[in-house]
Amino acid sequence: MRGHRTARTDGAGSDGRIRTAVRRVRKRVGFGSRGTLAGGRFGTLPRPVRRVLAIDRPTWLVFGLATVLFVVFSTYTSLLYEAYVLTGSDFGSYVHMFSTTLDGQGLLIHGKYRVSHPGGSYFGAHFSLTLLAFLPLFALVSSPFTLLVAKSFLLASSVVALWAVARHHLDSDRLAGLLVVSYALNPFLWGAWLFDFQEQVLLPVLVFAGYYAYVKRRYAWFLVAMVLVMLTNEFVIYVVLGAFVGLGVAAYREGRLRRESPLLAVGVAWAVGVKLVGGAVMARFSEFSGIPYSSIASPLQAFVPEGRASTGQLLATMIEHPEVVFALVSNDAMTKFLYFVAFLLPVAFLALEDEITVGAFLPFLGFAWLLAGRPVYYTFGAHYPLYLLPFLYIGAVRVMERVAIAPPSRDLLARLFAIVIVVSVVGGVATALDRGAFPVVDEHTETLDAAIDTIPEDASLVTQNDIYPHVAERPNANYVVRPDTFQEYQRLYGTVSPEYILYDTRLKGSSFWAERLQEAFGDRLYEEYGVYRYQDGIYVLKRGYSGPVRSVTEAGGVDRRYAADQFAVSDGATLTDGTVVGDGTGSGNVWFGPYTQLPPGQYTATYHVNVSGSNGSDVVVLNVAAGEDHEVLARERVGSTDGWTTVTLNFTLDRTTGDVEFRGGRTGEPGTVRFESVVVERIGDSPANGTNASSTDSGQSVGGEAPRSLTSDRTHSGRQPSSPASVVSASTSRSTGIASRPTPLHRLHP
């Protein structure tokens, strides 16, 4: 029985007869069956029950492994979603596609501003009929979690599908099991598993199922599976065509080409047909096609004057300008080589000997290494491993079968795979860490949830990439990924003016996506929108709003502490044990930053400092500055404080302002300053009409003089400020400051 054999030989003795008998049983009752349970006292049971009871222990272990992966990744990706780690591209867009399709608002409207297809249908960018298979599931349970669970189920199922393929080819459960574990723990698989959602999650189980049908000579099912693979994404057609060529070469070498040539011809014909139909469908939903300029390899960009080019045009360019080929091959060559080695390592490079693997890899690598301008292709990032992993492991299984491996060599190979698995686990953990290993739903994300709830469900809304999955079920919600694409969309199709704009400058500790949204809108945010709600770096902007800034929650407001380690430190100063230490001699800043963004209003900035001087002179000047020109809004010179002291500066902002700094500078006098933190608190609305104001001229005083305080939290120094601090309105904003945004895909209503 399979899984219980201990002696194995390569001869035609008793072990060979046992293997033949087991294969016959498996052929009759299934790949994971035990012949001893197929009949006998179980023969009177219903056939489905007998098939389940006939499953052997190794197969149950594989099912167990797949189940664990399904539960772990379903839970983990759900946590990533709740912690705002998943993005609009490629998760929120799919949620929006299914929601709008089921609501009858359009066919797979993805919510992203795309110049090539302003109507917003996913078919304008990609041709995927199998994507529609998720619609019934989403209709049954209309939730983002539905897609995450479905993705985990499909990828976990591919583990079992590979086990079926491996058991068909290999007579060693040990080697088959190690290969399956290598796949299940493959860091590239984990990386794709954790990356949002895509229709390509169907590829592994379909490719394994199709190949299993092929080796079982169930050619009709093989063709059905391969057609479904090609209907998943137009790019995979080239990979499948390469695999067909590899099958043809293998059939020729094994003397099966005459018998299988009609099958391969039908497969190629289907590939051509799907390509033609897919091209026609995409042309129907898009204004123009081709590879965008930013996705083209840099040596070829000079030959793409119109910003887009087809694959054929790029290949023609390479023929006309052969000198470009060397530049393409050498472009980031070491990175390409290292990632290719890493991709082959989990199968110990065995698949390089297989015709199917080589055939499938060549089209993908040709594009990734020569034509593509984004590293994600040749580093096998995002979901792109799903195109190749099935063919990689099919090739490894085929090579292991046809190479005669004696028992000692099998032990060595098993140990090699064990080492590879350990390396894969380490790589998989690193992948998880890179995705935000322990996603946390904290007070900030709860505040962001509350901010989303303050926006009416049917209002037109534009937000940033990593917030979009949480508003994607709304009919009029859209998002911005690239400012240049968004601005080009507006230039061609008109200005986008949603009712609300939502962004978060502190989400996951980064303002990256918020800055891209603000850059996309530019100064329109100042002119057309007012800050409706603000709390903890979360902005809800409303078109035409000029009232007071409200907090998101009742206990909310602007009250934030910036620790010393959040600031940059100048030469001559140090950061030790959470404290900046510097002297007053010389000129320039001791510390500066943190370049935060604040809504309009009146503020206090309370510094926690310890200043010592020798002659009673001021040692440090504290100041609040803002904007790309670093205009000083308030300042105070401070001398010896006789211990730790708080110094409070008042300042006013008329408008939402970026690059706000709370700095400490040298006066040139001898002495030492220690800085531990600054607490910023919003104490009221801007005096400019008590509301959001956008008409105040740069540099205009809006509040005259305002009081400051200098107190000590240890021993009061008794030293009072020599003069009141000036309170000046912010005159500039960050270059990537808030901007308003164009009408979303003809679905944002005024």
What's the confidence (pLDDT) of residue 189? 95
- Percent above pLDDT 70 for the chain: 82
* Distance separating alpha carbons of residues 683 and 558, to the nearest angstrom: 8
Contact (Cβ atoms closer than 8 angstroms) between residue 516 and residue 481: yes
Q: What is the pLDDT of residues 165-210, one digit of tens each?
A: 999 999 888 889 989 999 999 989 999 999 999 999 999 999 999 9
Contact (Cβ atoms closer than 8 angstroms) between residue 653 and residue 734: no
For residue 706, pLDDT beyond 70: no
Contact (Cβ atoms closer than 8 angstroms) between residue 569 and residue 563: no
| Stretch (H or E) spanning 516 | helix 512-521
Tell me the two tokens of residue 632.
């000083």
Q: Identify the architecture of domain 559-726 in CATH.
A: Sandwich (2.60)
Residues β-bridged to residue 680: 560, 605
Tell me the two tokens of residue 607.
């510094």
Contact (Cβ atoms closer than 8 angstroms) between residue 246 and residue 358: yes
* Distance separating alpha carbons of residues 9 and 5, to the nearest angstrom: 11
Q: How high does pLDDT run on average in the chain?
A: 83
- Torsion of the alpha carbons at 85, 90, 93 and 97, rounded to the nearest 10: -130
Q: Output the CA–CA distances (angstroms, integers) from residue 137 to 145, 202, 281, 336, 430, in the order listed.
A: 11, 14, 24, 39, 32
What's the confidence (pLDDT) of residue 431? 63
Q: What is the pLDDT of residues 71-94, one digit of tens each?
A: 999 999 999 999 999 999 889 999
For residue 227, pLDDT beyond 80: yes
Q: What is the mean pLDDT of residues 27-33?
A: 52
Q: What backbone torsions phi and psi does residue 56 show, to the nearest 5 degrees?
A: -90, 175
* Distance separating alpha carbons of residues 321 and 330, to the nearest angstrom: 16
What is the chain's Cα-based Rg? Answer: 32
What's the confidence (pLDDT) of residue 28? 45
Q: What is the pLDDT of residues 311-322, one digit of tens each?
A: 888 888 888 888
Q: What is the mean pLDDT of residues 590-619?
A: 90
* Distance separating alpha carbons of residues 708 and 558, to the nearest angstrom: 19
Q: What is the pLDDT of residues 245-282, one digit of tens each?
A: 999 999 999 999 999 999 999 999 999 999 999 999 99
What's the confidence (pLDDT) of residue 723? 28
- Torsion of the alpha carbons at 663, 665, 671 and 673, rounded to the nearest 10: 10
Residue with tokens 């999955």: 469
Tell me the two tokens of residue 602.
């009146």
| Stretch (H or E) spanning 73 | helix 57-82
Nearest alpha-carbon partner for 1 in 55, 61, 64: 55
Q: What is the pLDDT of residues 523-561, one digit of tens each?
A: 898 789 999 999 888 999 999 998 888 889 876 656 788
> pLDDT confidence of 745, banded at 50, 70, 90?
low
Contact (Cβ atoms closer than 8 angstroms) between residue 191 and residue 431: yes
For residue 344, pLDDT beyond 80: yes
Q: What is the mean pLDDT of residues 717-741?
A: 32
What's the confidence (pLDDT) of residue 523? 87
Residues with Cβ within 8 Å of residue 459, at least 6 apart in sequence: 476, 498, 499, 500
What's the confidence (pLDDT) of residue 86? 94
| Stretch (H or E) spanning 462 | strand 461-464
Residue with tokens 């860091």: 187
Q: What is the mean pLDDT of residues 694-715?
A: 32
Contact (Cβ atoms closer than 8 angstroms) between residue 480 and residue 516: yes
Domains of the chain by residue range: 59-85+126-434, 443-555, 559-726
Contact (Cβ atoms closer than 8 angstroms) between residue 647 and residue 622: yes
* Distance separating alpha carbons of residues 99 and 109, to the nearest angstrom: 9
